[in-house]
């Protein structure tokens, strides 16, 4: 996420494990789910992205995912 930010690409973490949400208030640990939830990053997706923007996002995501 830091590398994407350094390249002016906003990212976020939007998929928190459901058992951690206050509605469920679960005390049961689900370590695999928690690890996965901390590593899933949302990339920019909106109708104002140009083809060049999309290609740059893909290029940077592939570069930094390795």
pLDDT at residue 61, as a whole number: 94
Cα dist from 66 to 41, 48, 60, whole Å:
14, 28, 10
What percentage of the chain reaches a pLDDT higher than 70? Answer: 100
Between CA 33 and CA 28 the distance in angstroms is 11
User: Number of C-alpha atoms within 13 angstroms, CB side, residue 40?
Assistant: 10
pLDDT at residue 62, as a whole number: 94
The count of structural domains within the chain is 1
Q: Residue 66 pLDDT > 80, yes or no?
A: no
The enclosing domain of 12 has a CATH number of 3.90.1150.10
The pTM score is 0.70
Between CA 16 and CA 36 the distance in angstroms is 9
User: Could you read off the pLDDT of 5-33 as tens digits, one per residue?
Assistant: 999 999 998 888 888 888 887 888 899 98
Give me the domain span that covers residue 7.
2-65
What percentage of the chain reaches a pLDDT higher than 90? Answer: 53
């Amino acid at each position: 996420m830091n590398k994407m930010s350094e390249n002016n690409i906003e990212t976020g973490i939007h998929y928190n494990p459901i058992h951690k949400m206050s509605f469920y208030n679960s005390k049961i640990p689900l370590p695999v789910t928690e690890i996965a939830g901390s590593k899933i990053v949302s990339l920019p997706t909106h109708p104002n992205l140009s083809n060049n923007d999309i290609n740059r996002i893909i290029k940077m995501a592939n570069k930094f995912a390795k």
